[in-house]
Structure 1
């Protein structure tokens, strides 16, 4: 099944989300089959843009239901209850399904998701006031004037403030990055928590 932009524009928000959750565009490329994991509402005020669901998220169908999510919620200063309230917070990864595992972690997000669905979904999220952009694939889409590396983008966070915050991935695999860049948790995280508290 392929969808054209004009066809998607004519759908109600509810029908659009149903189509996304039933998507099988790249099922033949997914080692565990399709299971799109997204969370969004037309009233969402904060958007979290990750990479793609991991294995545990694929199994549970709950976004960021893993150690990465625990750290992300800590950075944001929110509870699980708040984080999973779609009326407040949308979660729209670059790839909606678990892409499988490579030599050094999960494979990149499948490009079909962004190519097919992303622009129309973002157009419907008209109440978003803050977007957290996590990892290099999300940076590539959401930061047209990005600086280069993930570290460079995150260091330039004030350039995008207060509408967008470029972030490293909260995965435990990034512990070394966090040790090398303590300024992120010292400088950026407190400002991020204040901004989120204001919006919620």
Structure 2
């Protein structure tokens, strides 16, 4: 009899322990997903979207590349908006912050809808570029920013978006590309007009001859 009571008590204890180990699903607004959501790239979101994730591999790659480039340009432009000495460079940098931030936010919404995980920061090489830019001052800083971000980064962006305009398969992504591409071209055109870019001076010299 005593042995039966002991076994019964042991079984009850195991049952209570099992109930305690099972987390409740109503403890958070996200249905218990708060921990995975805090870590981008965790398996929870992937499991939810994998069933209807129909985005092509090329489209996914473009989203990732465009996001990395956009984040780099926002970081560099934020730096220039506060550090540039020339008023025109400051104004150009502020415009880039506004436009690229808006584009990045729209791209993030598309990525979330398609189940694409975006990088948390630009690639290490791009972060190093921003750090190196921050070490420069005065006119040297202005020229470096205009050459590397105003000209080179936008030339690269335009090629990326022009290719995507022809190749991407997702209709929502295609609409984003076609809407953003003219803005990138306008950024490049404005950058080329500023003497700090090193582009306009040659054109002006050619016009005078």
Q: TM-score higher than 0.5 here?
A: no
TM bin (shorter chain): under 0.3
In terms of Rg, which structure is larger?
2
Q: Which has the higher helix share?
A: 2
TM-score (norm 1): 0.25
TM-score (norm 2): 0.24
Q: Which has the higher strand share?
A: 1
Task: Give the number of the structure with larger relative contact order, counting CA–CA contacts within 8 Å between residues 6 or more apart.
Answer: 1
